Amino acid sequence: MFDTIDELSVLHECHAEGIEMHSSKLNFIVNAIKGKTYDLLDHRKIDFINDYKEFKNQIAELKENLQQYINKQFLNVKGVYRSILSLKR
């Protein structure tokens, strides 16, 4: 979970147009999981397991949306130079 959050945290540093929506979605997902409290010693409660499954589903959806966004951005770019500039953003 921490690796996933770390991997996607670069969205906050990205300055590409339209990426804010994806960054906000990541914030929502992370804040939702951080807001949960668990009694790790109570093995009978499966709250964390269910919340982790939901987290993974939301992250998978976010990654899919990001891939679609990236693909769309490169379809709109004309020329190699502009493609490189888009990559830098």
Q: How many Å apart are CA 29 and CA 27, to the nearest integer? A: 6
φ, ψ at 19 (rounded to 5°): -80, -15
Inform me whether the pLDDT recorded for 51 exceeds 80.
Answer: yes
Inform me whether the pLDDT recorded for 79 exceeds 90.
Answer: no
Helix residue ranges per DSSP H, 1-89: 2-8, 20-34, 47-76, 80-88
Please tell me the pTM assigned to this model. Answer: 0.77
Inform me whether the pLDDT recorded for 30 exceeds 90.
Answer: yes
Confidence bin at 88 (pLDDT 50/70/90): low
